[in-house]
Amino acid sequence: MLLQDLLIRTAERKRNKIAYISNDTAFTWSQINARVNQLCAFLKDLGIKKGDRVAYFGLDFHQQAEVMFACAKAGFIRVGVNWRYGEREVNYIFEDSGPKVLLVDQKTAELGKKGAKDCSIPFVIGVGENHGLKHDYETCIRPQPMNEIKMQHKQNDIISLCYTTGSTGLPKGAIWTQGNLINSLVNGILHMGLRKDDIWMHALPAAGVPIVSMLVNCYWGNTNVLMPYFDPELALRLIEEKKVTAALFVPTMIQMMTSHPKFDEYDVSTLRLITYGSSPMSPTNIVETFNKFNCDLQQWYGSTENTGAWVSFLDPDEHQFAIHNNRTDILASCGRPASHVDIKIVDDNGVEVPAGQSGEITIKGDVIVPGYWKDEVKTERTIRDGWLYTGDIGRFDEEGRLYLLDRAKFRIITGAYNVFPVEVENVINEHPSVAEVCVVGVPDEKWGEVVLAEVRLKPNQSVTDSQIINFCKDKIARYKVPKRIVFVSDFPRGATGKLLKLEVKNKYQKAVLK
């Protein structure tokens, strides 16, 4: 079974069930499937063939899903471009992937047109209203036949180039295959426990990994409420109006909702499950989320290179146990490995280490990508004998829970000691005045590196740097206590809202070099 089979069968079984609610317009599964067939026919009329790239650069309306489904059916390769990207990132992806067709909307039309001209993309099509382009998506597909389109594809055929968020530099194009994607969808749904009657809400930008969140409803034929972009009050309103029962957020989004001044004005009681991931969430914030939403929580750990297939889960029952028994150590974990992957912690020589010892997290399974688009060096360095070397530092505890300590490149070596930023961040986040924190290592003549913490305070809160430092002293080893605190109004963020620690770190590296 591949994604095209899943769509065709769901459209037959659930033909009149609402598949997507997009900008307050509802589309049934039979309508979505018919529109996908029309899109395939139109693109073929343009001369687009199997293996050609089709890029989508816009907000998350139903057309985003339709393009992905069309690529699954016709064998095109979908390229997602996040609407928050700047000109340098956009043109890099265009040049790297070489799309034949680009779809843009009102938000991205100007930058998209310029990039298409600079990068010689033959066809540019406007989605939605007021895009100002000659070719309009609805006008183009409307006269096309709705006849079923189904081609023969192999598990290892490429279906998408998924560009990373660029937290380590310019985005890298991870190759997703047909087999990768269907394994990701099915195993993710089974592990999260999505129910047949759930109403799912998609809230993350689908250009990258979150496209899986946009497609996750295809298995059971659920309704998916699409947020074109994230806004905390819009999210709360949609949960109330559409009676959303399950959703995926990144921790920053959750904080924006729980701290919103109108939070208590909205009825979020239909929400039974919040899943979260993409970046660490402190135990303090997890407990606050549990108390505010009064629903089950589930943490997911995964990456672009495992096709968005989350490879470990801290399930709702473990959240409940940890919260009611004050086991903050459990809340600091990523839970237990999923059944569809193997996970090992290895040392610098690739040798597996015992529980309790830290090392690099490596993952193996059918969701691991075959490599990176046009980058053999990166592929050989990252994927070895089928194992994905994530660059994440972690450890297992004696009960089999996985702990994500940090990216290898963010490990701080002060004197002869290793400090993992997340350890310090979790402690500072316990302070009642702190909303968010980012810990990095900065060069120091005496110690090599010292610990620095950038801190964002909650509204109307005041605290000094010495108070933050003193707060840490009896909770962690002295060498882990920050030597410097810098208060900020916000942090640099990536396309999903994830804090970009590398930019914070580089700021201080450059300052020292100067």
Best CA proximity match to 167, nearest among 482, 486, 491:
491
Residue 166 has pLDDT above 80, yes or no: no
pLDDT at res. 513: 38
Confidence of residue 168 (pLDDT cuts 50, 70, 90): very low
Q: Domains, the chain, ranges and CATH?
A: 3-177 (3.40.50.12780), 341-407 (2.30.38.10), 411-513 (3.30.300.30)
Q: Which residues pair with 273 in a beta bridge?
A: 246, 296
Q: How many CB atoms lie within 10 A of CB 133?
A: 17
pLDDT at res. 514: 38
Residue 309 has pLDDT above 80, yes or no: no
Dig out the tokens for 444 from the structure.
């120091």
Report the distance separating Cα 135 and Cα 123, nearest Å. 9
Tokens 């305070």, located at residue: 457
Question: pLDDT tens digits, residue range 221-267?
Answer: 999 999 999 999 999 999 999 999 999 998 889 988 999 999 999 99
Q: Containing H/E element for 127? A: strand 123-127
**Side chain identity at residue 47, one-letter code:** G
- Measured at the CA of 410, the angle between CA 277 and CA 403, to 5 degrees, comes to 45
pLDDT at res. 164: 81
Tokens 């740097």, located at residue: 465
Question: pLDDT tens digits, residue range 413-435?
Answer: 787 677 888 889 989 999 999 99
pLDDT at res. 510: 59
Question: pLDDT tens digits, residue range 356-388?
Answer: 999 999 999 999 999 999 999 999 999 999 999
Best CA proximity match to 312, nearest among 279, 335, 293:
335
CA 233 to chain CA centroid, Å, is: 21
φ, ψ of residue 405 to 5 degrees: the values are -85, -45
| Residues ≥6 apart with Cβ < 8 Å to 53 | 76, 77, 78, 79, 97, 98, 99, 100, 101, 161
Report the distance separating Cα 192 and Cα 188, nearest Å. 6
Single pTM value for the model:
0.84
* Burial zone of 87 (CB within 10 Å; 0-12 exposed, 13-18 middle, 19+ buried): exposed
Question: pLDDT tens digits, residue range 83-105?
Answer: 988 888 899 999 999 999 999 99
pLDDT at res. 290: 96
Burial annotation 193-216 (CB, 10 A radius, 16+ → b, else e): bbeeebbbbbbbbbbbbbbbbbbb
Report the distance separating Cα 72 and Cα 157, nearest Å. 10
What is the average pLDDT value for the chain, to the nearest integer?
Answer: 92
**Least confident piece of the model among 16-20, 272-276, 292-296, 427-431:** 427-431
Give the residue-averaged pLDDT of 146-170: 84
Query: What residue ranges in 158-230 does DSSP mark as E strands?
Result: 158-163, 173-177, 199-202, 223-226
DSSP 136: B
| Residues ≥6 apart with Cβ < 8 Å to 407 | 391, 392, 393, 501
CA dihedral 22, 23, 25, 27 (to 10 degrees): -10
Residue 335 contacts residue 401 (beta carbons within 8 Å): yes
* Coil, helix or strand at residue 260: coil
CA dihedral 62, 67, 70, 71 (to 10 degrees): -150
- Measured at the CA of 99, the angle between CA 96 and CA 101, to 5 degrees, comes to 155
More confident of the two residues 154 and 410: 154
Report the distance separating Cα 29 and Cα 492, nearest Å. 39
Report the distance separating Cα 244 and Cα 268, nearest Å. 8
